[in-house]
Chains A and B, each alone.
Chain A
Amino acid sequence: ELKVEQNPLFLSMQEGKNYTIYCNYSTTSDRLYWYRQDPGKSLESLFVLLSNGAVKQEGRLMASLDTKARLSTLHITAAVHDLSATYFCAVDMGGGADGLTFGKGTHLIIQP
């Protein structure tokens, strides 16, 4: 059974600081996704990581994938209040056949 573990599950940080969210998964994966969810809203796609060593950046967010370690990271640089949200990583193990398996999410609060 595929397991996806995120940590931390809750993070409160100051504006201007850097931090990293970790996502570990238990079996070989086809794709790894990062999503953002605002309260009461749906999921917004942030990154799709396809191969070992993949690194993608958008603004203050950077995601990377190490398939050998089965680890993905989402790094936040110089955090701003607008990045406050819940961040999910999700793994596609079966080429879409089994849906996505999500981590529990990291609830991120950035204090001004």
Chain B
Amino acid sequence: EAGVTQSPTHLIKTRGQQVTLRCSPISGHTSVYWYQQALGLGLQFLLWYDEGEERNRGNFPPRFSGRQFPNYSSELNVNALELEDSALYLCASSFTRGNEQFFGPGTRLTVL
């Protein structure tokens, strides 16, 4: 069974640019979570999508957004990039809300 996949693996952007990260959940999983792992800040919950809808978000500004598609894959968009957005962005999926979350390999974003 294929695990959670994410693309791209690495990204380098400059301040002010926009970026889109992609995530494909494990087959059969409907919930997708996004997390940010920034140096010194630890792992923080960003967004939760379930059944195509944004259900909850962590303490992040609105320039962090995303969506979930009918096939349950998801995109994370970050607008107006700032230097502190440099981080490893992890996507996780679960069978449904509250079940164990399985993490993808992550996308390393560097903002210059």
Chain A residues with a Cβ under 8 A of chain B = 30-31, 33, 35, 40-45, 48, 88, 90, 92, 95-105
Contact present for A96 and B98 (CB under 8 Å): yes
Q: Is the CB of A41 within 8 A of B56?
A: no
Chain A residues whose C-beta falls within 8 Å of the C-beta of B106 in the assembled complex:
41-42
Asked whether A41 lies within 8 Å of B105 as measured between CB atoms, the reply is yes
Total contacts A-B at CB 8 Å: 63
Interface residue tally for chain B (C-beta within 8 Å): 26
Query: Smallest Cβ distance from B38 to chain A, in angstroms?
Result: 12
From A43, A90, A92, give the contact of B98 (CB < 8 A). A92
Using known A-B contacts A33-B100, A42-B90, A95-B98, determine if residue A100 contacts B105 with beta carbons closer than 8 Å.
no
Instruction: List, in ascending order, chain A residues with CB within 8 A of B98's CB.
Output: 30-31, 92, 95-97
- Rounded to whole Å, the gap between the CB of A93 and the closest CB of chain B is 11
**Could you list which residues of chain B lie within 8 angstroms of chain A, going by C-beta atoms?**
31, 33, 35, 42-46, 48, 55-56, 58, 90, 94, 96-106, 108
Docked Cα-Cα span, A95 to B99, in Å, equals 8
Contact check: which of B33, B97, B105 meets A95 at CB < 8 Å?
A: B97
> Which residues of A sit under 8 angstroms from B103, Cβ to Cβ?
35, 42-45
Across the A-B interface, the 8 shortest Cβ-Cβ residue pairs: A99-B45, A96-B98, A96-B97, A102-B43, A95-B98, A43-B103, A42-B105, A42-B106
A99 touches B56 (CB 8 A): yes
Can you give 21 contacting A-B residue pairs, CB < 8 Å? A33-B100, A35-B103, A41-B105, A42-B90, A42-B103, A42-B105, A90-B43, A96-B48, A96-B97, A96-B101, A97-B48, A97-B55, A97-B98, A98-B45, A98-B48, A98-B56, A98-B58, A99-B48, A100-B45, A102-B42, A102-B44
